[in-house]
Structure 1
Amino acid sequence: MSHPSSAPRWDVRRPPSAEGSVFLVTGGNAGIGCFVAEQLAASGATVVLGSRSAARAEAALGSIRSRVPGARVRAVPLDLADPSSLGPSVDALGVDRLDAVVHNAGVALDDPPRQETRDGHELMFGTNHLGHFALTHWLMPLLSAAPAARVVTVGSFAAKTERLDLADLQSRHDYRPKRTYGRSKLAQMYFGLELDRRLRALGSTVTSVVAHPGGALDSLTPSRPPVHVRTTAARLRSAPAALFVQGKHAGAWPVVRAVLDPAVRGGQVWGPRFFGLRGQPRQETVWPHLADPSVAAALWEASCALTGVDPVGAPG
């Protein structure tokens, strides 16, 4: 779990066939999620986009179909900030098994004031972490019905310098948007690793992997109209940054590999090759603070209390 992989060379532009597989990508209607969905669709899998907005989902589906002839893609409504909607959203998938879910959707706020979900959770923590935590609970029967399903949780390089405050998970006492966002992504990454430990203890066939996109900028991202349009001016302004970071199409590469590569194992962290910021996907050494199972276990118990569900327990 803590040593870089020596897996065979991976071609990001020619993923292996996943014909017959079914994948769910939360937030697949925009950003990195849309590129993850596009690249997974190119593998021949059926890809379902989970999205709050039907209009944005339709735009993303049109973009993917224009790039991937014959793509098997569709969408379901999904609002991670509304726990009561998650069961019906999973029912709307209309499948008897799920081969992978990509926990990608997220909220990132730049400015105060602090906002809350309808259940009273801080919006970024409640959506990015608690929403996916609860969604996994509802998806587990479908994941368990697949031969070897994967839960791929998309973290963030921004989480590398953050530490969780277990006494203030909701940022009630210390709300700074960028810090709160980074901590919400760190919570997701702890969840992904702890989920795998608990699945292994149960002897489950489901595995859990963490991936992050590194530094991914809109200005370095190729156009996917109408989902994303990059101007020539933006491309020129961002050219120097390409030495250090990348576009969202490349940010999707570690996530896609975490889903498709048969050499990937549960409990691993995948990110870009160069300083964790850009380049081909590779297995990373687990960050020291992420390797602390006591923090992960405490977060798990707190998340169970806040959501009222346990991802490895039976759906209620």
Structure 2
Amino acid sequence: MTPASSWDVHHLPTQIGRTFLVTGASSGIGYFVAEQLAATGAEVVLAARSRAKLDLAVQGIRSQLPDARLRTITMDLAHYASIEAAAETLSDSTVHGAVFNAGVLKQDKRSETVDGHELVVGTNHLGHFVLSAHLHRLLAPGARLVTMGSMAARSARLRLDDMESRHNRRYQGFEVYKMSKLAQTMFAFELDRRLRKVDSPIASLVAHPGGALDGLTPSRPPVHTRRTADLLKALPLSPLVQGKDSAAWPAVRALLDPTAEGGQLWGPSFARTKGRPVLEKPTPLMQDTAMAARLWAWTERSTGITWPTLSTRT
């Protein structure tokens, strides 16, 4: 395994001729994942709900990398038809990797996706499950699917009898968010186990960003402009958290490091909150194979999507 000290986050391996997809790429950590991948010479497909925000993200990346090879697709992970249409726009492409970064954060009240699922679990977990199922036929041999997890998943529990909070009288937004991130993490590990069973050359990994604040994030107009007041407010927290540019590092390493392997979890080196990307040990629940199998079955029933026979394009 490549030690952390030998992986240079500022000098990434060249990826000319390869294509990567990043969901939620129009802002935040997803934007910086896309920018860092674009710096390698790869073609980067930025996916997000808003066409206007995608256009701003392209401007931001090209302000740093004028020759960046970029494509954009509008996609709403809370709407299966949108996901399918977005995947169809890539049908002429071979995809060498994807970062499943998009997500909905804590909600104060329960709401639903277009397809009638609780919004947070429906977007973060079910939406990415559907996307990965549609992407599988486009993946090149050796492609990696990197799911963006969260430290919050470490203290989460699955409620397989009520994943969508239909029976809870009191909607607990942060608990639902944590559960969605645990579901994503368990799905990613289970996907990798199933890929290994069929000797697939595709790998599935998990990364998490640690703690990230806008006030510690460098400006990327027109996407993000750091205000002095935000920087001053964030500075006292800087020993423990980082900017969103640094928070992108674990996902980028999981995607690009030639020594990374399927089934791994990558995160920041210092207290799991900031620093260079290193391997982490998942919690026992994250690797509970029996629970993951039940989650997989529930996910297929909920989405109506059964993973097709895993295959690769040549």
The alignment status of 1:185 with 2:151, answered yes or no, reads no
In the alignment, residue 106 of structure 2 is paired with which amino acid? Answer: L
Displacement of 1:173: 3.0
Residues 22-73 of structure 1 deviation map (CA, whole Å, 9 limit, x = unaligned): 0000111111000000000001100001111000000001100111131001
Displacement of 1:311: 3.3
- 1:218 is matched with 214
* Distance in 2 separating the partners of 1:156 and 1:58: 28
Residues 204-246 of structure 1 deviation map (CA, whole Å, 9 limit, x = unaligned): 1110000000111122111111211110111011101010111
* Kept in 2: contact 1:134–1:310 (CA 8 A): no
The alignment status of 1:261 with 2:257, answered yes or no, reads yes
Residues 244-300 of structure 1 deviation map (CA, whole Å, 9 limit, x = unaligned): 111111110000001110000000000000111110000101222212111111100
Scaled by the length of structure 2, what TM-score is found? 0.95
SS at 2:40's partner residue?
A: coil
Out of 110, 114, 119, which is 1:114 matched to?
110
The alignment status of 1:53 with 2:37, answered yes or no, reads no
In the alignment, residue 105 of structure 2 is paired with which amino acid? Answer: A
In the alignment, residue 110 of structure 2 is paired with which amino acid? Answer: R
* Distance in 1 separating the partners of 2:143 and 2:307: 15
* Distance in 2 separating the partners of 1:254 and 1:163: 24
SS at 1:197's partner residue?
A: helix
- 1:278 is matched with 274
Displacement of 1:93: 2.1
Q: How does 1:293-304 map to 2 (within 5 A)?
A: 293-304=289-300
* Kept in 2: contact 1:104–1:153 (CA 8 A): yes
* Distance in 1 separating the partners of 2:38 and 2:230: 28
- 1:78 is matched with 75
SS at 2:141's partner residue?
A: coil
Scaled by the length of structure 1, what TM-score is found? 0.94
SS at 2:102's partner residue?
A: coil
In the alignment, residue 211 of structure 2 is paired with which amino acid? Answer: G
Displacement of 1:312: 4.7
Out of 165, 168, 175, which is 2:162 matched to?
168
- 1:99 is matched with 96
Residues 289-316 of structure 1 deviation map (CA, whole Å, 9 limit, x = unaligned): 212111111100000000111235479x
Q: Percent of aligned pairs with the same residue?
A: 51
- 2:193 is matched with 197
May I ask how many residue pairs the two structures share in their alignment? 309
- 2:16 is matched with 19
* Distance in 1 separating the partners of 2:66 and 2:232: 31
* Kept in 1: contact 2:207–2:251 (CA 8 A): yes
Deviates more, 1:70-79 or 1:34-43: 70-79
Out of 156, 176, 185, which is 2:150 matched to?
156
Q: Which runs of 5+ in 2 are unaligned?
A: none
Out of 266, 283, 288, which is 1:287 matched to?
283
- 2:306 is matched with 310
